[in-house]
Each structure stands twice: as C-alpha cells, then as structure tokens.
Amino acid sequence: MKQWIGFAVAAILAGGCTPPEVTEFSATLIPLPTKWEKASDESLCITGQWNWSVDPSWEVVSPVWQDWLQVDRMDSHALAVNLKVIQKEGLADEGYELRVSKEGIEVFASTETGAFYGLTTLRWMMSTEVSGEVALPHGLIQDAPRFPHRGLLLDCCRHFMEPEYVKRMIDLLALHKMNVLHWHLTEDQGWRIEIDAYPRLTEIGAWRTEADGSTHGGFYTKDQIRDIVAYAATRQITVIPEIELPGHSNAALAAYPWLGCTGEQMEVPHDWGVFKDIYCAGSDSTFAFLETVLDEVLELFPSEYIHIGGDEAPKVRWEVCPKCQRRIDEEGLHDEHELQSWFIGRIGRYLEAKGRKIIGWDEILEGGLPAGATVQSWRGMEGGQAAIAAGNDAIMSPTSHCYFDYPVESTDLEEVYGFEPVPTDLQGSGRILGGECNMWTERAPQHLVDSKVFPRLVAMSEVLWSQPEQRDWSDFRLRMERHYSRLDAWGVEYGWETVPISMHWNAARTKTALEVQFEPAMSGIEGVATYVPYRKDAPEASHSLGELFSVVGEGEIRVELMRKGISMGTPWTFPVAGHVGAFQSIELDHEVNSYYPGRGEQGLADGRLGSQDFRDGSWQAVQESDMGATIELAEAVHIDSLSMQFYRYQDAWIFLPDSLRFQWSMDGQVWNGDWLLGEATFGEATFIPNDSQDVARVAVAVNAEAKWVRIEAVNPGLCPDWHDAASSATWMFLDELVVHTNHH
C-alpha cells in the first residue's frame, strides 16, 4: 500500500508517471551498495529524458554515459529529469553518493571513477524488468568497493577470442563494477600479441594444428590492442597483460627454438598441459628477448601491474642444461627453484626500473619471493597468505571458488557467492588487493565463454565490492532473478547457476539396487529421467521427474529438462551403479583430499560413478598417497565380482595406480584376494599416449560369499622421466567400489 501511495505522489510530482511499482534500491542492485537510506515515501519518476550536466573536467565519464543512458545531447525537454554529476572532495577513490530527490538525481564523487560507478548504479536502477518509466524512491546511496582489484582473467590463448568479443566482455565487466581485465596473452598453445621485433611469435606461435588436422589461432595487432586498452579505460577497467615466463612458453619456443634449453624445433601444442620445455634461464639471449618483448608490451599497456605468470614451470630441462647449471653456480644459487626465483626477480627488477610492478602465480614463492611482487593465489589460499606474511600483496583466485572453466557441478553460483577472499587467520603486513575469476579456455572456445562466466561473475562482483556482513545468499538470489532480464537485454548467453535438478540417492530396500529420485530444482521446469544400462540386453526405463525408481547395475541416468514443452539444451547425465554396496558402511584408509573430496567419506559407495570429467565432484583423489576403502555389507551375499573406475589423464598428472588389490571376507579378519600388478591389471593400458584422458575400469571375479569387501591402490610415485612434469608427485582418482551380485 505504501508503495502505491509513493507511486501516486510521484505521478503527481512528475506529471503523469505510471510505473507499476517503486523500485527499491535494495531489490535491484548488484553489487549491493554499502549504505542506502530512503528519505521519504515519495519517489522520482524517470522518463528516460535527462537534463544532463557533468563536471567539465571528467571527459571520460560523459561520452560512455551519454551512450549508455541514451542521451546524445543535453536535453531540455519539459519532462526531463535533472541529472547532475558533481565533484565532491572527501569520498573514497572509487566511491560515490547518489541522491534522488524531487529536484532530480545527483551523483557525487571525488574521482571520475567514482562518478562512473554512481552512474552505473543509476543504470541498474533504470534497467530492471520494468520497462519504460521507472519510479525511484527519494533517498541517498553511499557506496565504495571493499577491494581495489576486482578482476576477470580471460585466457585468449588456448582459444582465441575476437576483439569485438573482448570489448563486449569489458562492457559486461564494467556493468558489474569489476575493474580489471587480466588478459592472458601468451601460452603454450598460442602467442596472441604482435611483437615487431619477433614476427615469428605470431606467424608461427599464434597457430596450432588440432588433432583432426585443422588450424586454430589468431592474434591481436598492436592497433587492436591499443583500441581495446583505450576502450577499457573509458569504462574504468585496467587491462593487465600476462606474459608467461619461464613456463607455458611453448608457442614462443616453437617460433624461436633458441629460447629453450635444447634448441630443438618443436610444434605449438594442441592440448593443454604442463610442458617441460621452458625458457632457458642460463642463456642471456633469453633475457634480451624477454626485455625486448616487455618493452613493446609496456608501450601498449599503461597498467601499474604486469603479470609475468610464473606457474607450472617444470625444472627438468634446467637440471641438465649446462647454461642453466652455470647460471646456478655463478649466481650462488642452491637449486633450480632458486633459479626460477632468480629468473622472476631479474624480470621484476627490469620492470620495476620502468616504473611497473609484477604479479605472479603463487609458484613465484618457491625459491624466494621477489621483493615487491604481488602473488596471485590459485592453489588454494595458502600462497596468498604466505605473501601477506612476507609483507607482499596478494590477489585471491583459488581453484575452489574462482575457476570458471570448472563445471557448475563443482563450482556453482552459491559456492562462488560464498567465497571469502580474506582468510580469518591472516598475519603479516601485506594486503589482499582483491580477487579474480579465472576463465581458462582449453575446453571453452569463444562461443562457450559467456555460459561459463555468467552468472557466476555476478556473484563474484558482489563478493569483491560489497561488505562481508552484507552477504546474504537468499537475498542475492532474488536480485539475481531480476537481473536475468538485464542479462537477456545485454545479449548474455549465460549458463546454469547450478545443476538444475535436485537428487535423492539412497540404498534401495531390495539391497541389490539404488533408489533415486530426480526433481527439478527450479520452477517452471518439467522433464524425464531415463535409465540407460550399459548392458546392451537390459532395457531402458523412463520416469517422470519426482518419481522414485530403482537402478540395478551400471549405466547412465539421462535427465532431459523442458520448459513449456521445449527442450532446455542437452540432457544432464549421471553415471550410476545400483549395487549392494551403495550406502553401506565404509571406512577409508586415506584422507579425503580437500580439492577432490568426491562426495566425502561415503563417496566411494554412493551409487554415483565418476564421469569423463575429473572435476565432476564424484571422483575422489589423492596426491602422493595410497588409497584404500573397506565396505561392510548389511549381510553376507554371494558376490560375482568387484570393480573400480580409475581416471587417467597424464597431462594433468593423473596416473593409474602402480598396483592394487580387491579383497573380500566373511568376518573382516581373514581376507581373500591377491595383488594385481600394473600390466595384469590394465591389460593394453600400460602405455597411455600423452594426451589421453579417459576412464579405466578394473574388475576381478570373486564368485564367493562375503560380508566385507575392500580395495587398496598403491600410488604410482613421481611423474616418470618422459613426462613434462617429471619427478612431480602424481595424482590417483578413484570412483566407485562396485559390488556385483548375481544376475547383473
């Protein structure tokens, strides 16, 4: 009722405004502003026509804003609303105040950036699902960001993105008050920045030959880069280029083999990984090259920071390179880790002398953190914490919350929203500058990038801008729901917030099966769940959503979703195993790894099988340790066989176990079952091509009664000599210990 009165008063004041409702600040804004106060129940009717005035010294603000608010001239229409952008001292650098009163709208800021964000807020207040006229309550917003660094990493190397797409992403970042585009421009799989002194970087290094023989690639000319950097600047976005060193540099080595330790000719790789060929740290020509490249980079990018990568640089070439070893001697270094630190430090000093600062991934801590370097923490939060402890600054982007190349199964919107960039036990004099979302693109060519970045970036924008005590998931969810109409209007091809299906998994009463129920987790959705057994002679069975049904044996549940009878994309699939061990008591010999918990303690006996994606949340993993699990069945049964799935992806350091054994027992004391060694276990799979990525299944015949079953898998040790990460600790990925009983 109050709102209606507010609207009526507004209609009288503004002479004929008929919006359906007053749009409250708190219902419509993301990120939520620091403070807002309603001055009265009156409101201002926005007609879309403005008497626009802006502080004359702020040239950047006005052209972009005249465009965004669709005012292409000073309008002195009778119904126009006064909009004044006014300089006011004493506000935070990026802060602003926005006052709505019957005189119109005033945006106060001490900087152009603050004014820009005030106007961004106004744009959000205008563009809701309410089209046409909008009524804004009289009141005051006071706002400033929590963190100064609010970024998105775009990997334009694994897959190239068109300049127009990059600019559109810059617009979308600005609309969410994000202020950093971390532009990943050099990689193993592609060099994307034109360098005059070294033309082969883009002639050779920008192109990869795919497994099917086709070519993928592209690069940005200097003019395109200048255009993008300027475009970003007018939207208050700093573009920070990343020039990776000493690792992730195969594209450069393919163009100029003398940059590597061996000097051997190589190809631009067509799949991602961690490769052992990196820049030679012993050769002075490497540094002459990098300094020339960086000089050209600095001309294009005015950013205070330059990202120099530093992650995932195997040391195997350096260990045997005479030049690298001589450098270690001459510089009095202890090992190759200190050589890496020396390498980063040397480049850091070069950039510092030119007035810039470096950011590096958390590996730059190894062998000693160079003074003044900012650490981007990605392998958890620890790297950032160590940097702060050392008095350096940090940017947080842990894989747990910030990797938007991961599927929503492992990082959904609510998880991103729950990200807290500041650990509670922080010690030291460094600062957390903020955070970034990382969009790596080996599995996401340009046409998929929107669906990975959105809506998750919207949640991150609030994490990085708003105050932590304002964080409220259910309130955010309501604002997010309204925000989709804006994303639609801006042409964003957003993906899912989460798996849109809620699932119930349980042991079935019959004991030999799994009981499952799938329901839509959003309103307005209907669908069908079909169980497709792997055994060809078993029939498929379809069930409507909400129906409880049982699954016997191994197969896949496909859930097709529809809205108003129209299919909503490809079906969601869930590999399953209906077996007698599902949801029985299980004990693990290993600790559940926090990165790959695989649904925790019960994960190896929960009826859900790991899929082709090792980040699907089902796979349970360990690094450098053995695995073991014991299931106690409800009662002794006749067991036909036992099986386990292993993931193998050697480029990602995921190997099959060295050996394993399945065992079974009637009493939990006396066990049957022998060790299986590599070759016997895996048959033809003893050699796996470098980029193979698949699921290996191992089974043993049992043909006996048992009440207890167990598996032990021995870790495969260090990555072997031929591997690009030779001597790094391998991972093992398992799921699930399936107990096969008669008839299936």
- Binding stretches for ligand ACM (CB under 6 A): 311-312, 361, 378
245 contributes a contact to Zn ion by CB under 5 A: no
Residue 442 Cβ, how far from ligand ACM at the closest point, in Å? Answer: 11
Minimal distance, residue 387 CB to ligand ACM, in Å = 15
Q: Does the footprint of Zn ion cover residue 365 (CB under 5 A)?
A: no
- How far from the centroid of its chain's Cα atoms is residue 335's Cα? 33
**Nearer CB in complex with ligand ACM: 21/311:** 311
Q: What is the residue whose two structure tokens read 């021995």?
A: 714
Pick out residues in 264-293 that bind Zn ion (CB under 5 A): 280, 282
Backbone angles phi, psi at 697, to 5 degrees: -120, 130
Looking at beta carbons only, is 599 or 723 nearer to ligand ACM? 723
Integer CA distances (angstroms), 236 to 65, 148, 179, 682, in order: 12, 12, 6, 56
- Nearest distance in Å: CB 379, ligand ACM: 8
Q: Is 261 in the site for Zn ion (CB under 5 A)?
A: yes
How far is the C-alpha of 671 from the C-alpha of 663, rounded, in Å?
6
The candidate with the shortest Cα–Cα distance to 315, out of 384, 363, 347, 271, is: 363
| Angle of CA points 173, 178, 182, to nearest 5° | 80
720 cis-preceded (ω within 30 degrees of 0): no
247 vs 260 by CB, closer to ligand ACM: 247
Pick one of ligand ACM, Zn ion, none as the site partner of residue 261 (Cβ within 5 to 8 A by kind): Zn ion
Partner from ligand ACM, Zn ion, none contacting 416, C-beta within 5 to 8 A by type: none
Tell me the three state secondary structure of residue 504.
strand
* Least distance CB 117 / Zn ion (angstroms): 48
- Residue for token digits 């990776």? 244
Interaction of residue 734 with Zn ion, rule CB under 5 A: no
Q: Please enumerate in sequence order all residues whose Cβ is within 8 A of that of 365, keeping only pairs 6 or more positions apart, or say none.
A: 375, 383, 386, 387
Which partner from the list ligand ACM, Zn ion, none does 361 bind, CB cut-off 5 to 8 Å by kind? Answer: ligand ACM
Nearer to ligand ACM, 311 or 519 (CB): 311
Nearest distance, CB of residue 327 and Zn ion, angstroms: 8
Q: Shortest Cβ distance from residue 119 to ligand ACM (Å)?
A: 34
The answer to whether the peptide bond before residue 363 is cis (omega within 30 degrees of 0) is no
Q: What contacts 222, CB < 8 A, 6 or more positions away? A: 194, 196, 300
Chosen from Zn ion, ligand ACM, none, partner binding at 311 (C-beta under 5 to 8 Å by type) = ligand ACM
- 312 is in the binding site of which of Zn ion, ligand ACM, none (Cβ under 5 to 8 A by kind)? ligand ACM
323 binds Zn ion (CB under 5 A): yes
- The encoded tokens of residue 354 equal 């030119």
- 321's contact among Zn ion, ligand ACM, none, with CB below 5 to 8 A by partner kind, is Zn ion
Q: Which one, 378 or 583, has the nearer CB to ligand ACM?
A: 378
Complex with ligand ACM: residue 362 or 736, whichever CB lies closer: 362
180 binds Zn ion (CB under 5 A): no
| Residue of 71, 109, 278, 324 that binds Zn ion (CB under 5 A) | 324
Residue found under tokens 């309603």: 38
Q: Which is nearer to Zn ion, 280 or 388 (CB)?
A: 280
Question: From the CB of 226, what's the least distance to ligand ACM, in Å?
Answer: 27
> 689 φ, ψ to 5°?
-55, 150
Nearer to Zn ion, 261 or 501 (CB): 261
Give the shortest CB-155-to-ligand ACM separation in angstroms: 9
How many Cα atoms sit within 13 Å of 391 on the Cβ side?
Answer: 4
* CA-closest candidate to residue 237, choices 146, 169, 163: 169
Q: Which two tokens stand for residue 192?
A: 């994307």
* C-beta of 44 vs 324, nearer to Zn ion: 324
CB of residue 416 vs ligand ACM: minimum separation in angstroms? 17
The one of Zn ion, ligand ACM, none whose footprint includes residue 194, by CB under 5 to 8 A per kind, is: none
Burial call 521-538: b when 16+ CB within 10 Å, e when fewer? eeeebebbbbbebeeeee
Is position 394 an interface residue for Zn ion (rule: CB under 5 A)? no
Q: Which residue is listed with tokens 């959904």?
A: 412
Cα atoms in the Cβ-side hemisphere of radius 13 Å centred on 104: 16
Q: What three-state secondary structure class fits 19?
A: coil
290 within 8 A of 347, measured Cβ to Cβ: yes
- Amino acid making up residue 651: D
Residue 282 near which of Zn ion, ligand ACM, none (CB within 5-8 Å, type-dependent): Zn ion
Shortest distance in whole angstroms from residue 324 CB to Zn ion: 4
Residue 707: count other Cβ atoms within 10 Å of its Cβ.
18
Partner from ligand ACM, Zn ion, none contacting 324, C-beta within 5 to 8 A by type: Zn ion
Residue 378 vs 417, nearer CB to ligand ACM: 378
Among residues 279 and 655, whose Cβ is nearest to Zn ion? 279
505 or 649: CB nearest ligand ACM: 649
CB of 313 to ligand ACM, least distance (A): 10
CB 117 within 8 A of CB 58: no
Q: Are 182 and 305 in contact (CB under 8 A)?
A: no
- For position 118 contacting Zn ion by CB under 5 A, the verdict is no
Q: Which is nearer to ligand ACM, 442 or 556 (CB)?
A: 442
* Residue 280 binds: one of ligand ACM, Zn ion, none (C-beta under 5 to 8 A by kind): Zn ion
Q: Is 259 in the site for Zn ion (CB under 5 A)?
A: no
What torsion do the CA atoms of 690, 692, 693, 694 make, to the nearest 10 degrees? -140
Taking the complex as a whole, the smallest distance from the CB of residue 169 to ligand ACM amounts, in Å, to 19
Amino acid at 543: H
Q: Judged by CB, which is closer to ligand ACM: 437, or 700?
A: 437
CB of 261 to Zn ion, least distance (A): 3
Q: Does 321 bind Zn ion (CB under 5 A)?
A: yes
Residue 197's H or E segment, with its range, is none
Residue 321: CB minimum distance to Zn ion, A: 3
d(CA 715, CA 528): 41
Half-sphere exposure of 58 (CA within 13 A, CB side): 26
Contact 461, 30 (CB under 8 A): yes
Kindly state the helix (H) or strand (E) to which residue 165 belongs, with its residue range: helix 163-175
**Interaction with Zn ion in 608-667: which residues (CB under 5 A)?**
none
* Kind and range of the H or E run holding 448: helix 446-453
Residues in 64-83 at the binding interface with Zn ion, rule: CB under 5 A:
none
Binding partner selected for residue 185 from ligand ACM, Zn ion, none, CB under the kind-specific 5 to 8 Å limit:
none
Residues forming the site for Zn ion (CB under 5 A): 261, 280, 282, 321, 323-324
